[in-house]
Amino acid sequence: MVNIEQGEDEKVILCKNLKIKSTFLIVCGGLQADRLAKIDQVNLKEKVVGFRGDYYELEEHAKHKVKNLIYPVPDPQFPFLGVHFTRMVNGDVECGPNAVFSFKREGYGKTDFSLKDTVDALTYSGTWRLFLKNASYGINEYRRAFSKTLFLKTLQKLIPSLEMKDIKTGRAGVRALLLGKDGDTRDDFRIEYGNNSIHVLNAPSPAATAAMAIGNDIKKMAIERFNVN
């Protein structure tokens, strides 16, 4: 979706090679949610800033060390949950993630860069306020992003027997953090109405696990707001 135009009684959604006309629109844009809301004339003060999370994976010979999920108790002072071990349905075990500022919203590689996204984030006061509030945390996260030894040390807090040979580089994800100008993260769900539209602006974890329930709620909101069945 690259543009949303408001027609007389319908919206015209312009995608790269497609034009869709619709009376109502529900937008779940993740890392692009704020931009899509603005295109649709939603008055939004916050901005989405991306934070990448790198994962390691357990090597085959070390998988027996994790039989279920292993999570730390969350520290409510920090916006991110600490590293944890997740046993996946295919038997793989992910270890992580860290949380580092992403120079590209969909930047899944350590060196990915987008001038537009970087300027957008670094000219926003909320980003700097978040950095200043969590400076030492942020620096440690960056060090861990480039040091397997430091990452391992953090993982060893949960599994002391873990060794360097037990972990290998895994995949990465980028969290969409809806940030206020005060640098506070909007930790809760944030769904706004536009003109004949609904925008999911913040859907933090566990929004993937709870996707069906959230979808049901959005359906109810749409029925009520748009007066449809």
Ligand X SMILES: Cc1cc2nc3c(=O)[nH]c(=O)nc-3n(C[C@H](O)[C@H](O)[C@H](O)COP(=O)(O)OP(=O)(O)OC[C@H]3O[C@@H](n4cnc5c(N)ncnc54)[C@H](O)[C@@H]3O)c2cc1C
> Using CB under 6 A, which of 209, 212, 227, 228 touches ligand X?
209
> Using CB under 6 A, which of 10, 22, 26, 28 touches ligand X?
28
| Binding-site string for ligand X from residue 51 to residue 70, where x marks contact by CB under 6 A and - marks none | --x-----------------
Q: Which is nearer to ligand X, 17 or 229 (CB)?
A: 17
Q: Which is nearer to ligand X, 160 or 206 (CB)?
A: 206
207 binds ligand X (CB under 6 A): yes
1 binds ligand X (CB under 6 A): yes
| Binding-site string for ligand X from residue 30 to residue 49, where x marks contact by CB under 6 A and - marks none | xxx---x-------------
Give which of 223, 225, 19, 1 is closest to 10, Cα–Cα: 19
Long-range CB pairs of 188-196, under 8 A, 24+ apart, other chains included: 189/214, 190/46, 191/218, 191/221, 192/37, 192/42, 192/44, 193/225, 194/25, 194/37, 194/40, 194/41, 194/42, 195/6, 195/40, 195/41, 196/11, 196/23, 196/24, 196/25, 196/226
CA 38 to chain centre: 19
Q: Taking the CA atoms of 107, 137, 200 and 87 in sequence, report the sign of the dihedral they define.
A: positive
> Using CB under 6 A, which of 44, 83, 95, 174 touches ligand X?
174
Q: Which is nearer to ligand X, 61 or 116 (CB)?
A: 116
Residue whose beta carbon is closest to ligand X = 30
Sites of contact with ligand X (CB under 6 A):
1, 28-32, 36, 53, 97, 173-175, 200, 203-209
